[in-house]
Amino acid sequence: MVLSVFALFCLGYAFVKKVPVYEGFVDGAREGVRTAAGILPSLMVMLAAIRVWEESGLNEALCAFLLPVTEKIGLPAEVVPLMLMRPLSGSGALAMVENIMEKCGPDSRESLLAGVMMGSSETIFYTTAVYLSAAKVKHARHTIFCALMACLAGYIGAILCCP
């Protein structure tokens, strides 16, 4: 429902503003296809690695190890590896969300939480490195620390608003 209303709004608003609706849409769609195709190799490789990690039984062992701690704060242990991966790699994190959905079902709390965490933070190390090297800056000062703190706050926010 929300998504249809949103789509109609975009279309109607563009029409009112006399935007070339078809050309604009195709332009955007091209970008979407390019993004999806761009992440294919890294997503594929990461998903393969995560499946091996999962199948070997290591993930289960790790979750069992973490469970006593995470249980107390209302955090499913399955989501912890994702929280560690998110600042490092976008496709790695996406592959982990995929793995959680596969394992727990797309409508489970684990999947919702994973999705919210995925959407509410960024690939901190990668984006910061790109911008800093473009600006030829060597000392990032407090950037990484603050970005990680923000990411952590986002995780806590995600746990609080996914009961």
Partner 1 sequence: MLQIVFFVLLGMGLFYGLMTGRGDRVFSALMEGAKDGIGLVMDMMGVMAIFCGLMKLLSLSGVTEKLNRIMRKPLRFLMGKVPEEALSYVTMNLSANMLGLGNAATPMGIEAARRLADGDRASNALCMFLVINASSVQLMPSTVVALRMAHGAANPEAVIWPGMIATGISTLFGILCCKWMEKKAWF
Cβ 23 to partner 1 shortest distance, Å = 9
Q: What is the identity of the amino acid at 82? A: L
Q: Which is nearer to partner 1, 49 or 69 (CB)?
A: 49
Could you give the C-alpha distances from 47 to 36, 53, 127, 142, in angstroms and in order? 15, 10, 22, 33
Cβ 68 to partner 1 shortest distance, Å = 22
Q: What is the identity of the amino acid at 86? A: R
Instruction: Name every residue whose Cβ is closer than 8 Å to that of residue 108 and which is 6 or more positions away in sequence.
Output: none
Q: Which is nearer to partner 1, 67 or 151 (CB)?
A: 151
Cβ 67 to partner 1 shortest distance, Å = 19
Residue among 124, 127, 130, 128 at smallest CA distance from 150: 124
**CA atoms of 64 and 142, how far apart (whole Å):** 35
Q: Which is nearer to partner 1, 48 or 69 (CB)?
A: 48
Cβ 78 to partner 1 shortest distance, Å = 15
Q: Which is nearer to partner 1, 69 or 129 (CB)?
A: 129
Q: Which is nearer to partner 1, 57 or 68 (CB)?
A: 57
Q: Are 96 and 103 in contact (CB under 8 A)?
A: no
Cα angle, residue 109 at apex, residues 105 and 111 outer, rounded to 5°: 50
Cβ 63 to partner 1 shortest distance, Å = 14
